[in-house]
Structure 1
Amino acid sequence: MSHANAQLTPAGRLRLAKLVVEKKWPLRRAAERWNCSVTTAKRWADRYRSHGVAGMVDRSSRLMTSPRRTPTRVERRVIGMRVTRRWGPARIAYRLGMQPSTVHKILRRYGCPPLAWTDPATGVRLRSSRRQVRRYEWDQPGDMVHVDIKKLGRIPDGGGWRVHGRTKGKKNRRGIKHGYWFIHNAVDDCTRLAYSELLDDERKESAAGFWTRANAYFESVGITVQRVLTDNGACYQSKLFAESLGENITHKRTRPYRPQTNGKVERFNRTALEEWAYARPYASETERADLFSEWLHTYNHHRGHTALGGKSPADLVPNLCGQYT
């Protein structure tokens, strides 16, 4: 790219080329006249012979071929995963066996906005917002287990409004209240290992029974729970829940109105909604509920976690796969 005061602007190159081609000036004389090398004078003269005036403009310095560029087929898989599954560069890279930086460049090249700028439901680009996030992680499995309950509306037979729209979705309900699932979740802070159940309520009996089964699950894979973090819900403040924890587990509570304190299980709730509850259209609640255990198995054994460097909880909990150490 020529600068503003350069002699060999497109117009200057054209005059140089015409002196050599049309007026038959020797290359050395033309080069001295325009204060350039003989090689440069020859290049512009040859371009004028081949392309005329159009050959006097700058050409792209990009290589004609890129042997090491990512194949188009792989790029399409990257874009497909971004659009259909709304995955970030790191998770796409773990699934395809690529470098996250390579995936990031592909997404930038195709104009894909960051996930934080898009609406989860519609994919529409939103206003950019940058937030400073403080992160922490306990060193050993069982040092902290995050527990929470997610309320999820059940789907009427024939599909809900997310599939058919609000008008037909309301007709499928036919005035019947289908109720809610109360998804009780427990997530280990260090390994992201999750134990979850679909229950009918969030009463203290259900919360206490859930923790008893969750604790037994963690013990079965070699994790001894030291602390449990919950919100300030009534079921977690009950004596029955305190009895289910026992004497060896410390119960910690979040600050009121600060769900960020229990962020890891809150992120698990969001992941469950995106990858299971609203991942595809369901014709009935029975169909969706039957796939929950399958999704949870995928989450614990096969899903790569960005915070774990692309590994799954099973990679950090050997006993989860039966590899006792």
Structure 2
Amino acid sequence: MTTDEKVARRKLSLLELAQDMQNVSKACQLMGYSRQQFYEIRRNYQTFGSSGLVDRLPGAKGPHPNRVSEQVEQAILAHSLQFPTHGPLRVSQELMLKGVSVSSTGVRGVWSRHELLSRHQRLLRLEKTVREQKLELNEEQVRLLERFSPEFRERHIEVHHTGELVTVDTFFVGTLKGVGKVYMQSVLDGYSRHAWGRLYTSKLPVTAVHVLNNDVLPFFEEHDISVQTILSDNGREFCGRPDHHPYELFLQLEGIEHRTTKVRRPQSNGFIERLHRTLLDEHFRIQGRTKWYETLEEMQADLDAYLLHYNRQRPHQGRNMKGKTPYEMFLKGRPTNTTKQEKPSTKKAA
């Protein structure tokens, strides 16, 4: 029973009690009503019947006389769907330019009736409309959805087998006294998370080529696996004119496709970024506080020892790894004839 129904029953009980007692004052005193309220309740009951006992809100006879017209309301809703982050004043000004006269207060009134007062509610309406209808989003809508929607933010690169996607990056390790700045050319197989790393005193295309040619590709060839695609950022050691840049020329000679991430979007190469964090937490920050390095070779020897542990002994907790070591996944993910031609795709996380 709703609250309105309970109030209506109480009013009806007041009328019945006054009739039984033949005393309006006594009935009102017992039920907690005034005589004026009693006569008003009785008049409504005699006029409208049982529906007259339900409380009516003031002004609830129909729409407000200053409410915008249906055409203006539809124009506001259409504009808010296309530009969900515009405020009421911006919407009013934009519609004025299109010949639709409405105030910012009128815009807020329409939003209030349709539960669109907050930017988040309008973005959710856009997302719901896109799911239900096949709409072509403009660049601004896509950017806003990626910014505010967890579904769009939690995307990941899906790799189907070993060698399908290999990610590379240059990582600044630190400064070694007497040597200078130390950089690591890091390489990671996207399917198995098997990692390679080599330290250099500069970040040049020749160093990026060196780690691939000496460490990575021989390891793949040893297991009869080919590298299909390499994903890197837009650093100068990886990108340049295809007919002059050493790294681009090397990949062309090896028949490897080169893909790059979006500018200033390290999240799109999350595999290698997570490897760097692991190396910092489990190796570099510990070794840097427990051992005094004098040469780059000493640092490389310790790094090789850690990467051997990382690839062969350390259980990996990454997505789809299920506690297996990267080397186990490297062998498990050997491509078959049916999977060699598949390309990595971007998919929303569950």
Give TM-score, length-normalised by structure 1.
Answer: 0.49
Q: State which structure, 1 or 2, has the greater radius of gyration over its C-alpha atoms.
A: 2
Q: Which has the higher contact order (CA 8 A, sep 6+)?
A: 2
